[in-house]
Amino acid sequence: MGYSGTAAPVPELIGLPEDWWDPAWLALRSPDAHEAAPPRWDPASIPVSPAPEPDPDPEPPAPPAPSWGQVLSTTLRLWTTRHLPWLRRPPRRRLAMTALGAGLLAVTIGTAGLATAMLSPAHAAPLPARPAPVAAPAGRTALPASLTTTPQTAKPVWLSVPSLGIGKTSLVDLGLQRNGALQVPSSTAVAGWYTGSPRPGAVGSAVIAGHVDSRTGPGIFFWLRALQSGDRIYVGRADGTMAVFTVTEVRKFAKDQFPTAAVYGPEPDAELRLITCGGVFDRSLGSYLSNVVVFARLAGS
């Protein structure tokens, strides 16, 4: 069956460039057809979401937790402020107080050092070794019973202290100085009997004195302070007899508090006192500040 109407125009085949990859662009167009213009992009046509309304009462962010260093620093600062208020003073004043304290400390140390130097012993060398004990002297001993029958006790001529290593050492006579003080032997190697006291072995307190040391070394009574109760002291007499004494006490007295009555005073028995210097040596005075006194009693009395 044929078509009887007016013949329609033959459609024109329009081809796109050969390098175009999308086959959808291959289309048939009529010569009198109008190609629709591609839609233009309008930013206003894009829907916009409304912005969120601000929170009328926002919660503040939580502060970070303090470190252990901050905690310790704060604790120390609060404790210092409460217990050490002087640290809160202005830096200049605190610095001045620190300098003043350091100066006072230096003066104190210097004064202590000077006092130590002034009061140090005359001999800077180490203490000598204590002498070894010696044998007790042999001889005829004067008995306490003879005190009432002997009209005159013989004069002392030698002294021996075996526990201190002192053998028979000569005794010299000692008197009083012009100021009333007891004389001392001219030699540090011997001791002296005070002629104003009873003779050793007679009733009363016989007194024998000796040096503790000198610039050249120890004296005869250097170790006198080491005597102990029960030690023996021997005093030889001109008649060949000897009086034996037993130590009862060893004491040290400051020279300005010396017990004169207890040392030189009368006693009902035959007693002996050995005296020397001791304690601290004062360089400014050139002498010791104390005395060492040994108290002894005639053995058997």
pLDDT, one tens digit per residue, over 171-198 is 999 999 998 889 999 999 999 999 999 9
Mean pLDDT of 126-154: 77
Checking DSSP bridges between strand 156-161 and strand 166-174, what pairing results, if any?
A: antiparallel
Indicate the pLDDT class of residue 141, thresholds 50, 70 and 90: confident
Residue 294: is its pLDDT beyond 80? yes
Where are any strands of DSSP class E within the chain? Answer: 12-14, 27-29, 140-141, 156-161, 166-174, 191-194, 204-209, 213-214, 217-218, 232-237, 241-254, 270-282, 287-298
Radius of gyration of the chain (CA): 59
pLDDT at 285: 85
Least confident range from 5-14, 50-59, 260-269, 270-279: namely: 5-14
Residue 148: is its pLDDT beyond 60? no
Mean pLDDT of 77-97: 67
pLDDT at 56: 62
DSSP 68-99: HHHHHHHHHHHHHHHH-GGGGS-HHHHHHHHH
pLDDT at 224: 96
pLDDT at 115: 55
Residue 78: is its pLDDT beyond 90? no
Average pLDDT, the chain: 78
Indicate the pLDDT class of residue 238, thresholds 50, 70 and 90: very high
The strand pairing partners of 253, in sequence order, are 291
Residue 249 φ/ψ region, left for φ over 0, alpha for ψ in the -120 to 50 degree band, beta for the rest: beta
Mean pLDDT of 282-290: 90
Say if CB 168 and CB 147 are below 8 A apart.
Answer: no
pLDDT at 80: 74
Residue 263 or 113, more confident: 263
pTM of the model: 0.59
14: CB partners within 8 A, 6+ apart: 27, 28, 29
- What's the CA angle centered on 11, arms 5 and 12, to 5 degrees? 155
Residue 113: is its pLDDT beyond 90? no
pLDDT at 20: 44
Look at residues 235, 218, 239 and name the one whose alpha carbon lies nearest to residue 274: 235
Residue 225 or 13, more confident: 225
Domain 140-298 coded CATH 2.40.260.10: yes
pLDDT at 18: 47
Residue 93: is its pLDDT beyond 70? no
Q: How far apart are the C-alpha atoms of 183 and 192, rounded to whole Å?
A: 9
Mean pLDDT of 43-72: 67
pLDDT at 152: 81
Residue 123: is its pLDDT beyond 70? no
Mean pLDDT of 260-281: 94
Mean pLDDT of 42-64: 63
